Amino acid sequence: MCLSIPSKVVKIDKENNMATVDTMGVQRNASLDLIGEDEVQLGDYVLLHIGFIMNKIDEEDALLSLETYKEIIAAMDEEERQKAILEDDECPNRGV
């Protein structure tokens, strides 16, 4: 299963229509092609799918979701964490 974890926009490259987002300490680039121009600003929380920012979300909701993810991760043993990482790497359409 693919989950969209709230990610914070830490950099915007308007020339290439890309943003750098931070997802629980991991930074990655994401396309802004599917969201309205100037809709996303530095510090906003967004949801991604297959490398594209799909929508902006409320900061309070994003922080609550992140706390839930942290609780889930804390409850997992090491084998479960590794399996979750591998399943995320095999998410359909990832990297498209």
Strands of the chain, DSSP E: 7-13, 18-23, 26-31, 45-49, 52-57
Q: Counting Cβ atoms within 10 Å, is residue 6 exposed (0-12), middle (13-18) or buried (19+)?
A: buried
pLDDT band at 82 (very low <50, low <70, confident <90, very high): confident
What are the boundaries of each domain within the chain? 7-89
Which pLDDT value is given to residue 16? 96
Which pLDDT value is given to residue 96? 45
CATH architecture of the region 7-89? Roll (2.30)
Which pLDDT value is given to residue 73? 85
